[in-house]
Structure 1
Amino acid sequence: MARRRKGQAINGWVVIDKPSGITSTDVVNRVRRHLDARKAGHGGTLDPLATGILPLALGEATKTVSYVMDGDKTYRFSLRWGEVTDTDDAEGEVIARSDLRPSQTQIRDVLGNFHGWIDQVPPAFSAIKVDGQRAYDLARDGEEVALSARPVYVDSIELVDLPDPDTAVFEVACGKGTYMRSLARDLGEALGTCAHISVLRRLSVGAFDESHAISLDSLEQLEHVAACEQALLPVETALDDIPALALTETEAKRMRSGQAVSVLARSHLQRLQDLEPGDTVCAMTDGRLVAIARFEAGELRPVRVINP
């Protein structure tokens, strides 16, 4: 007989405003212990230095993590001119220096080079695997890590402040896989100087932003029941940009058993006019998510069934 997993079956999202100085895994473990949750994961790693939006998936919400990971993100970061570090942030060792400090005009003139699809080399200290090993493990062991450039999408990059000659503050909206540390490093190179990130904050990821967030300390000060009531968001919150379609109880039962549901003969037809074959739909009943489904050949076919 398989061993029963410890903890309670809690389903939903908790969005933590991550403090600096701890890993994303540390946050997941602390929240899971405090809520006594059976299963938990996060919707996109933040560096230990970084603060901000860290969505945690509990129970059935872990089935929707990929939709958050694939979502757009926004960041605010402070960049320090004149020094480059081996980690491309303030936690690393300085490996080069420059006395050059770019002007506001010079900075704005290069920002167009970092908009749209760009080729970006990830930091050596990153979770990308090289021959089966994490790049940061190799880098920490003193090995030279050569990562290939890959295409990433930057929707916008804006210079928002120049508080002093050594510092510039930017806000960035971007797609999956874009490293702010690489962006800071490359901005420095484009301006003929050195740069690294000194402060990094994630403002949003996917459907989640600061309006959803609770601090880790605040959550841990709440009793278990109160924490669940105040902080737990429904599983479907992560899928706000995916169209929803209401099912009858009979249809929901079929879908929960893994069967497709025909929708062309019902009142669903008007709602489906904007969908194309292969599009994803949130199948709902009584305001609850039943499944993430794909629309094909006049049917909704379950991709991920969400258990109540």
Structure 2
Amino acid sequence: MQRIEEADNNKDGVLIVNKPSGMTSHDLVNITRKLYNLKKIGHTGTLDPDAKGVMILALGRATKFIRFFSDTDKTYIAEILFGQETDTYDSSGKIIKEQKPDFTRSSFRSCLTSFVGETLQRPPIYSALKKEGKRYYEYARMGTKIDIPKRPVKIFDIKILEETIPFSAIIQVKCSSGTYIRSLCHDIGSSLKTCACMGNLERIAVGNISIDQAYDISTLKKMNMDQRKKILLPVDRLLMSYHCAKSNSRGDHFIQNGNALLQWNSAMPFDSYQDGELLKIYNSENRFIGIGQFRQSENGIFPIRMV
């Protein structure tokens, strides 16, 4: 299994977990709390209970930076089952429509191509999105119909891994954050003038974090506490998309005491930074110490969230 970079030998850091199917994201967090004997654990994004794959957990002080984790691309392997539509858009839901699929391999491939790019997608009603403070799935369980607006998403790439046309197919999808693969499968069926729902789903990557860097729960349970600590990644692993600023020894004192960092080292010219841009801050010893905001008028970096 590939190791990226080890964090300090404590319980503050980032853990990459391979969530099994049949487990909620909340259950996964609770199990990890017990394994690390730690209350402060959060995640950067859920997976449906029936789905498996990469989940990023923040432990200890790393939870302070979850809100700065920028939306990032996801990669999934999904099974499309043709001939049935369900209320949840996946095979675990109630069948609400059946139609014998009748389309060619050529039309299927052409259909997939039409979904690549920017598009508007309607999320399934059985989702955790909110309307007037209530989750969509709560409306669904009450039998209340609501208007679900479409949202912009982007599909970067779709590859066919297996196909038994016109009955089923397995595809690999790279997409923007917020894309519902269940909706994609449903919409592919509609485009082919038939019904479809999603079968198995696995998330194999979140940004540049892939499934081969993730630990199974069974592996974590076999480890002792020292081993579990050593596999945690540095807190700034959550912040890969941010530019960096490195303080000097004089600046260390100011920024750690909540004052602006007015002198720092940078790999980029100062005029390359955008006014209001958030930056990762490292001290003079090259240790990550927090997130700051660049203000052009003062030509300084002001602390937003410190370790």
Kindly report which structure 2 residues correspond to 1:42-53, keeping only aligned pairs within 5 A, or say none. 42-53=43-54
Contact 2:101/2:166 (<8 A) preserved: no
Calculate the aligned-residue CA RMSD, in Å.
Answer: 2.0
Kindly report which structure 2 residues correspond to 1:101-250, keeping only aligned pairs within 5 A, or say none. 101-163=102-164, 165-229=166-230, 231-250=231-250
Task: Pick closer, same or farther for the CA change 1:102–1:302 going to 2, 3 Å.
Answer: farther
Residue 235 of structure 1 aligns with an amino acid whose one-letter code is: V
Residue 108 of structure 1 aligns with an amino acid whose one-letter code is: R
Instruction: Tell me what 2:288 maps to.
Output: 289
Residue 73 of structure 1 aligns with an amino acid whose one-letter code is: K
* SS of equivalent residue, structure 2 residue 242: coil
- CA distance in 2 between counterparts of 1:270 and 1:190 reads 47
- CA distance in 2 between counterparts of 1:42 and 1:242 reads 19
- CA distance in 2 between counterparts of 1:98 and 1:67 reads 45
Contact 2:101/2:167 (<8 A) preserved: no
- CA distance in 2 between counterparts of 1:228 and 1:181 reads 36
Contact 1:89/1:196 (<8 A) preserved: yes
- CA distance in 2 between counterparts of 1:269 and 1:131 reads 45
- CA distance in 2 between counterparts of 1:273 and 1:169 reads 47
- CA distance in 2 between counterparts of 1:207 and 1:56 reads 15
Give 1:228 shift: 1.4
Contact 1:256/1:291 (<8 A) preserved: no
- CA distance in 2 between counterparts of 1:175 and 1:99 reads 32
- CA distance in 2 between counterparts of 1:18 and 1:69 reads 21
Contact 1:68/1:205 (<8 A) preserved: no
Deviations 1:219-248 (A, max 9, x none): 12212221111x311101112232222212
Deviations 1:114-169 (A, max 9, x none): 22221111101000112221111221233334311111222222323214642111
* SS of equivalent residue, structure 1 residue 144: coil
Of 274, 277, 286, the match for 1:276: 274
Does 2:126 align with 1:90? no
Give 1:48 shift: 0.4
Q: Which runs of 5+ in 1 are unaligned?
A: 1-8
Does 2:28 align with 1:30? no
Does 2:52 align with 1:60? no
Which TM-score applies when normalising by structure 2? 0.89
Task: Pick closer, same or farther for the CA change 1:108–1:269 going to 2, 3 Å.
Answer: closer
Structure 1 outlier segments of 4+, above 6 Å: none
When the two structures are aligned, how many residues end up with a matched partner?
Answer: 295
Residue 96 of structure 2 aligns with an amino acid whose one-letter code is: I
Give 1:280 shift: 2.5
Residue 198 of structure 2 aligns with an amino acid whose one-letter code is: I
Contact 1:207/1:241 (<8 A) preserved: no
Task: Pick closer, same or farther for the CA change 1:57–1:188 going to 2, 3 Å.
Answer: same
Q: Which runs of 5+ in 2 are unaligned?
A: 1-9
Residue 25 of structure 2 aligns with an amino acid whose one-letter code is: S
Give 1:34 shift: 1.0
Give 1:47 shift: 0.2
Give 1:49 shift: 0.7
- CA distance in 2 between counterparts of 1:79 and 1:251 reads 55
Aligned identity (percent) is: 32
